[in-house]
Structure 1
Amino acid sequence: MPIPKPQLYPPFNIVRLSHVELLVTDLGKSRAFYVDTLGLQVTDETSDVIYLRALEERGHHCIVLRKAAAGEARHLGFKVFDEEDLDRAAAFFGGRELPVEWVERPYQGKTFQTRDPQGIPLEFYCKMDRLPPIHQQYALYKGVKPLRIDHFNVFSQNVDEAVAFYNEIGFRVTEYTEDEESGRLWAAWAHRKGGVHDIAFTNGRGPRLHHTAFWVPTPLAIIDLLDLMSTTGWLQNIERGPGRHGISNAFFLYVRDPDGHRIEIYCSDYQTVDPDLEPIKWDLKDPQRQTLWGAPAPRSWFHEGSLFSGAELTDSDLAAQPIIAP
């Protein structure tokens, strides 16, 4: 399936990805991972929930950790330009007979929740409480020094259909992987904010959250995190990397939190602001697609992900497989 032409005048204006809520079984362990080890900043916490932001962010939170009986992912949050766009977004999803539920969310203004056609739970808002800047308070820079949330990656049971839908609401594909035998998409990366992606789709049993990524200052921050995790009891939570992706050119590391939620630490991708930028095509069997240096990803990277609360899972009918590490 060919990549659809960019929709430069979508029905509503999404600014960027914003936040995710993760259900966790032990807030103390999760706090030790996200705050003490990764270095995210607490903006509020109770006995049931912790709100976090990264060091460059002015919004109240980019990740919410909520205590629950099982580790799952909830809504992926996106910020729209203004309240008129929020109303247009709600009308768009309602017109597609997708659920629209207006909800009260702490630290956010008018907000609605919905699901995309594949069942991914989404949340849209336009205003979030602003906090004072802390990006020059260098005493706060701990762990991997996370600067901002960068993207989501989700398992999709049909990447072609996912790309077509998100293209319609203004996401532009920057890079994609095609299965040469079937001519179908195996993965795709799409953005709103001018990086390589705000959201990516990976072929597999879905919908599930593959990972949430945070941008860090330099690859050296990733090396520092590896030294820290390997000497403070988190060695088994290091899953993949460090390395450099072929797709996106980013330097990366994948780690798992205490409930198995996958977090990517990410830096050094490239700007994609031009609306006529042509997407880059990769072959599924290209060994440099996953890692520019040729190292394949482990099996867990292709098969394990976080369940979305309330989502019905469906197997992908595209059986093509990339190169997998033994």
Structure 2
Amino acid sequence: MSAEVWSTPTPAQWLAGARPRTLPAAVSPVLTGTGVAAYLGGFDAATALLALVVSLALQVGVNYANDYSDGIRGTDHARVGPLRLVGSGLAKPASVKAAAFVAFGVAAVAGLAIVVLTGHWWLLAVGVACVLAAWFYTGGTRPYGYLGLGEVFVFVFFGLVAVCGTTYVQLGRVPLPAVVASVGIGALACAILVANNLRDIVGDRVAGKRTLATRLGDPATRRLYVGLAGVAALCVGGVAVLTTPWALLGLAGFALLAPAIRGVVTGAVGPALIAVLKATGSAELAVAAALALGLVIGA
């Protein structure tokens, strides 16, 4: 794309490029991990807030990084879904790349503050791993997001690491309820990505982007989505068994997931899956908030 076709994005377009519909995947693990810490008497407002900043900044960073990397590869030129700044020609690739690294920088500063407050210096290595994983999802010469490993990244970093890490920086340990909760939240975060890749399956195949959805095919990807929802529900039940029956409040959030599951099962495609993506994000946030509330009440 020639330099003269680039325009200057408006603030609203920069916001759209950050893909706010994916932000529940960043907020949910922090709410959940904080709920577990509160149940066990370890709630700390300062570290919880800093953990939220880290998670949100990483999510925004990876969204801009994906926009940049997919845009320069041409993957986004025929994409259905949220605005892509580079693929649509609205922003120079270098500007979007810079925005990604600004977000990563914010995450690094907040993470360093957590390290200073807690004294757990080994967490610096975890922070570096998070940033590298975020960048190489679609960046570099062999991005693992193009090898069908995107769901692994989401499950590990926006499930296991985010939930257990949030609990750890407040409580000083990772109890079993945090691990079980992290599997459930990770499953719902994966469901967001599965819905996204299901929507883009045709365009990704044309562009040579080998996501898990393109590898599994349409029917199996739909079954995977439903299976992830089932795993998440089981994990909410597991947390309730390990802590308090009040944790079952988390199941209320699945009411928001019902329309999304219906859409996936009945064969929604293209733009119809944007509603599925939005509903999945909302459901993850609702499950996390209700679960955390139940844990606080149970405490």
Q: Which structure's relative contact order is higher, taking Cα pairs within 8 Å and 6+ residues apart?
A: 2
Task: Give TM-score scaled by structure 2 length.
Answer: 0.28
- Structure whose residues are more often strand by fraction: 1
